[in-house]
Structures are given as structure tokens and as C-alpha cells.
């Protein structure tokens, strides 16, 4: 009724036939929020880059033989096997007023800060506890402190990575294009962090920025490592605080969680995990298998990459000047790999939009990586041959310029395969998760299981396996090449393409994924 008058019959008829108001537009997350959350990857990967480039040589300087060095890396796969799925499950159901993901991200950053102090100052703390300073002597107390710090570091990093990726998936709200772009942004910032980490590891005078890092128990190499880790944790804390303070989350109610299912106690976690696995569609199982082969190919190389350059390419011995030069050259190569990966990530996001099957792009990336791993054998043989000829002719033992250029070029080409491996699997996991209604955190945590189980096997077998063939790194690289080639065939021939999107009739403005959509 308007102005005290009843509507006319004609007005009533018009009102009865009037269409209902259109639904409100879906919530659109500003792009800057996705970018800010993805930037946490810079700090995370800065630390990972330092681990992969510097810590295998460092543990040998502490007195651990090469054949046992791989066992130190067991802590990463073991913590990833438990921490990421457990973090994913509980972050999906977290009812904190700060949100679902942010409390876990903050806790992970705090653990990484503690771990960095233990790792960086392991030699100093070991000396204060009674370790000898003799060159070549084992330092058991420093090794113990280092291993404890290494475990905490891997737990903290795993506690950071899964909630961060799940946070990005939450912000994209199941949209395939936005999910791929968010993964590409994370891969780009991952590459930026790796460039910074590998560049820091390759610069031999970085310790001069923090003179207090050089001590009686900590030589130049140790001081550089200590300085690198202190810089990395400062960067991580700045980016994490910036993201958590500017990008908020709407907390979920305890009632909604309990309505869906009761809270899962820690002892019931594995039962919940098995229950979730039973609900996974077949493409998700294909993804887990492909991710396992991908991890087998990459982890053996990541574990020994700089050691390979120092030993096989430069022909140095652990602790020697030539070996240290090779490790720095390997760090420079990893920096080039990360730089190429960053550019490739942007290319995937901006250019590769017409590819109907991400599996095809991933398969091509694995084939490229298999060729690169096979080339490590060729480079090693050429380096050994030129070294023998140089010594016979009275020259030096430094690798020839062509060998150095070939090694660095190989690292750079690997960056293309690395970018693809960072973007496609995470995007596919998020898409498949949306298709059957699973929690993003738990699904990404389960995907990490497919990553860490091969890492466990490699950590347990690569040291004795390499020792069986003379103590070098090439046997592990050959196994990786076979795994990458196998995965390439699997992805190109047997792997189903991602499901095509459709508009849910009940929510015409929201892009959904059809679980039964045929493959392209």
C-alpha cells in the first residue's frame, strides 16, 4: 500500500507476474589479496633453496660421510607424510576467530624461525658443548643440534605450505581459471624465493653483511650459511605478517563443523584419511600416481645437485677449495633454474589458456626433465675427460669454460620443467577437490603424501645405491631420469584430462566443476 491507497488490480497483476530479483553477484576476491598470500612462497622457498643448495655439503663438513648424508633428509618426507595431511584436515575444520588457515600459517612461520637459529648456530653451540675444532673431525653435538633444527624446519615448512595453498584455493572459490592463476602466482613467487636463496648461497662473501656470524667454530662457509638463513627468516616473517594482517578470513562456526561431522581426534586421523581416499574419483588417484613419479624424478636431483657440481663437474673433495667453488657454481645454476621457472610460470598463466589437458603440458615437462637428467651423465664424462687432459698437459684442474656453460645451461632448461611441476598438479588437485566436494586442505595434504613417500624411499636408498656404484651422484640421477620418462608416457597416454566446467542451474553465477564431465 502506497500513500494510504490499495494497489489497483492491474498493479496486483503486474506484481504477480514480476520476475524475482536476480541473485546477488558472487563474492569476488580482489587480485591483490591472492598476490599477497601467494607472496609467502618467497619466504618459504628462500629457506628450501638454502636447504637444497647448502645443507648436504654442510652436513659433510660436520663429519657425516656422503653415503649417510641422505638419511638426514628423511626428516622432510616423514614430517610431510604426517604434518601436511594432518594440517590440511584440521585447517579445513578450524573454528578459530582468526580463520581456518591463518593460525597454522603463523605457527609454521614461528617454528621456521626457531629452526633457523638451531641450524645456523649448530657449529657454535656444538663447540660450546664440547666439540673439537680439528679439521675433518666429526662434531657429534653440532650434528645433533643440526638434526633437531632440520626436523623443526621441515615441520614448520610443511605447516606453512599446505594452509597457504589451501588459503589460495579458498580465495579462488573453485573457479578453474582463477585456481590456475593462483597456482601460477604461487609458482612465480616460489621462483623468486629460489632465485634469492640460490643467489645468496652462491655468493661467498655474504657473511660480511653480518660480521658476527664468523666465529672460531664457524668458518667462512658456515658463516655464509648462517647469514643466508638469518636473511631468509627475516624475509619470511615480514611477508607472513603482511599477508596475515591484510587478508582476512571469515571464521566458520563450530556448529557447522559439528553438523557436518564430529571433530576428529588425533588417533582417528588416519581413519579419516582412509575415508577421504575412498571418496576420491579415479582422476584423483591418477594424479597421486603421477605426482609420486614426479617426486621420484625431482628429489634425487634436488638432494645432490650442488654436490654433483662440486664432486663430478669440478672434481673437488669435500672441504676443499675446488669443491666449494663447485657448490657455489651449483647454487648459481639453481638460481638460473629458478629465474627461468618464474618466467615460465607467468607464461603458463598468461599464454597457455587453450590447452585442454594440463596433463599434456605436465607430460612434456617430465620428458624435458628426463632428457636433462640424462645429460648430467654426458656432462660428467666430458668434465672428467677434459680434467684428465688438462692434468696431463700440466694445466689446472678447474673445469673448462664449455663444461661450466653446459652445466649452467642445463640448470636453466630444467626451470621450464620445474614451473610446470609447480603449477599443474596443484591446479588439478584443487579442481578435482571442487568436483567432489572435498576439503581443499585435506586434498592438498593427501597430494603431499604422493610427494613424500618417494622421498622416503630415495632418502633410504640413494646413499647406499650411489656408494654401490662408486660413491658418486649419477646413479640417483639415472633413476630420476627413468622415473621422469615413465611419468611422461603415463601423463601423455593414460592420464585423463581435467573435467570441463559447467554452470550449476541452482547457482547460475557460480562456476562449478562437473564430476561426470567427459574428458577432452
218 or 70, greater pLDDT: 218
- Local confidence band at 394 (pLDDT 50, 70, 90 cut-offs): low
Mean pLDDT of the chain: 77
Taking only the tens place, the pLDDT of each residue in 312-360 is 898 888 767 888 888 888 888 888 888 898 888 888 777 665 445 678 8
Chain-centroid distance of CA 162 in Å reads 10
Taking only the tens place, the pLDDT of each residue in 238-296 is 999 999 999 888 776 554 555 444 444 444 555 666 666 666 777 788 888 999 999 99
Closest C-alpha among 313, 210, 236 to residue 49: 236
Tell me which DSSP letter residue 2 carries: B
Position 188 in a domain? yes
pTM of the entire structure? 0.68
Residue 487: exposed, middle, or buried by beta-carbon count in 10 A (0-12, 13-18, 19+)? buried
Bridge partners, 331 (sequence order): none
Position 290 in a domain? yes
CA distances in angstroms from 406 to 372, 399, 440, listed in the order given: 11, 11, 41
Position 373 in a domain? yes
CA-CA-CA-CA torsion sign (151, 157, 159, 162): negative
Position 265 in a domain? no
Position 402 in a domain? yes
Domain assignment of residue 46, given as a range: 28-249+280-513
Position 180 in a domain? yes
Taking only the tens place, the pLDDT of each residue in 351-382 is 665 445 678 888 999 999 999 999 999 999 99
Is-contact 135 4, C-beta < 8 A?
no
**What angle separates helix 440-468 from helix 282-308, to the nearest 10 degrees?**
40
Cell numbers placing 454: 618417494
Taking only the tens place, the pLDDT of each residue in 74-99 is 776 777 777 777 787 778 778 888 88
* Number of separate domains in the chain: 1
**Least confident piece of the model among 105-114, 305-314, 316-325, 376-385:** 316-325
Domain containing residue 285: CATH number: 1.20.1250.20
**What angle separates helix 140-172 from helix 176-202, to the nearest 10 degrees?**
150
Q: Please state, in angstroms and rounded to a whole number, the distance separating the CA atoms of residues 200 and 205.
A: 9
**Least confident piece of the model among 176-185, 206-215, 327-336:** 176-185
Percent of residues, the chain, with pLDDT higher than 70: 74
Position 275 in a domain? no
CA distances in angstroms from 436 to 279, 280, 396, 440, listed in the order given: 8, 8, 62, 11
Amino acid at each position: 500500500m502506497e500513500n494510504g491507497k490499495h494497489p489497483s488490480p492491474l498493479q496486483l497483476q503486474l506484481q504477480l507476474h514480476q520476475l524475482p530479483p536476480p541473485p546477488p553477484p558472487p563474492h569476488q576476491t580482489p587480485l591483490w589479496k591472492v598476490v599477497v598470500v601467494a607472496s609467502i612462497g618467497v619466504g618459504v622457498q628462500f629457506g628450501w633453496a638454502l636447504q637444497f643448495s647448502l645443507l648436504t655439503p654442510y652436513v659433510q663438513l660436520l663429519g657425516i660421510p656422503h653415503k649417510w648424508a641422505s638419511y638426514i633428509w628423511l626428516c622432510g618426507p616423514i614430517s610431510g607424510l604426517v604434518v601436511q595431511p594432518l594440517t590440511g584436515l584440521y585447517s579445513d575444520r578450524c573454528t578459530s576467530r582468526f580463520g581456518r588457515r591463518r593460525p597454522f600459517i603463523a605457527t609454521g612461520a614461528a617454528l621456521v624461525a626457531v629452526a633457523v637459529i638451531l641450524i645456523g648456530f649448530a657449529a657454535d653451540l656444538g663447540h660450546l658443548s664440547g666439540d673439537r675444532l680439528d679439521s675433518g673431525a666429526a662434531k657429534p653435538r653440532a650434528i645433533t643440534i643440526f638434526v633437531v633444527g632440520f626436523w623443526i624446519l621441515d615441520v614448520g615448512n610443511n605447516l606453512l605450505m599446505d594452509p597457504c595453498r589451501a588459503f589460495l584455493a579458498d580465495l579462488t572459490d573453485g573457479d578453474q581459471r582463477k585456481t590456475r592463476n593462483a597456482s601460477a602466482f604461487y609458482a612465480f613467487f616460489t621462483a623468486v624465493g629460489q632465485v634469492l636463496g640460490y643467489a645468496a648461497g652462491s655468493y661467498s662473501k655474504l657473511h660480511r653483511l653480518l660480521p658476527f656470524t664468523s666465529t672460531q667454530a664457524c668458518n667462512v662457509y658456515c658463516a655464509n650459511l648462517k647469514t643466508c638463513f638469518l636473511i631468509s627468516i627475516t624475509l619470511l616473517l615480514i611477508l607472513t605478517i603482511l599477508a596475515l594482517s591484510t587478508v582476512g578470513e571469515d571464521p566458520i562456526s563450530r556448529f557447522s563443523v559439528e553438523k557436518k561431522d564430529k571433530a576428529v581426534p588425533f588417533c582417528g586421523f588416519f581413519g579419516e584419511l582412509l575415508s577421504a581416499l575412498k571418496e576420491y574419483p579415479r582422476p584423483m588417484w591418477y594424479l597421486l600416481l603421477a605426482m609420486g613419479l614426479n617426486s621420484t624424478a625431482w628429489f634425487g636431483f634436488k638432494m645432490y645437485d650442488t654436490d654433483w657440481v662440486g664432486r663430478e663437474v669440478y672434481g673437488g673433495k669435500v672441504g676443499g677449495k675446488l669443491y666449494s667453488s663447485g657448490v657455489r657454481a651449483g647454487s648459481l645454476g639453481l638460481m638460473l633454474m629458478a629465474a627461468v621457472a618464474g618466467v615460465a610460470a607467468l607464461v603458463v598463466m598468461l599464454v597457455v589458456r587453450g590447452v585442454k589437458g594440463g596433463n599434456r603440458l605436465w607430460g612434456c615437462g617430465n620428458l624435458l626433465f628426463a632428457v636433462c637428467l640424462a645429460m648430467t651423465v654426458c656432462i660428467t664424462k666430458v668434465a672428467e675427460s677434459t680434467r684428465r687432459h688438462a692434468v696431463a698437459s700440466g694445466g689446472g684442474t678447474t673445469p673448462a669454460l664449455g663444461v661450466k656453460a653446459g652445466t649452467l645451461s642445463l640448470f636453466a632448461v630444467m626451470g621450464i620443467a620445474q614451473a610446470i611441476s609447480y603449477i599443474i598438479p596443484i591446479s588439478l588437485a584443487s579442481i578435482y577437490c571442487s568436483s567432489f566436494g572435498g576439503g581443499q586442505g585435506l586434498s592438498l595434504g593427501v597430494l603431499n603424501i604422493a610427494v613424500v613417500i618417494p622421498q622416503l624411499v630415495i632418502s633410504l636408498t640413494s646413499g647406499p645405491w650411489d656408494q654401490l656404484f662408486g660413491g658418486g651422484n649419477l646413479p640417483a640421477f639415472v633413476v630420476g631420469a627413468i622415473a621422469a620418462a615413465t611419468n611422461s608416457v603415463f601423463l601423455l597416454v593414460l592420464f585423463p584430462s581435467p573435467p570441463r566446467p559447467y554452470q550449476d542451474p541452482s547457482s547460475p553465477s557460480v562456476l562449478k566443476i562437473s564430476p561426470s564431465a567427459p574428458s577432452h
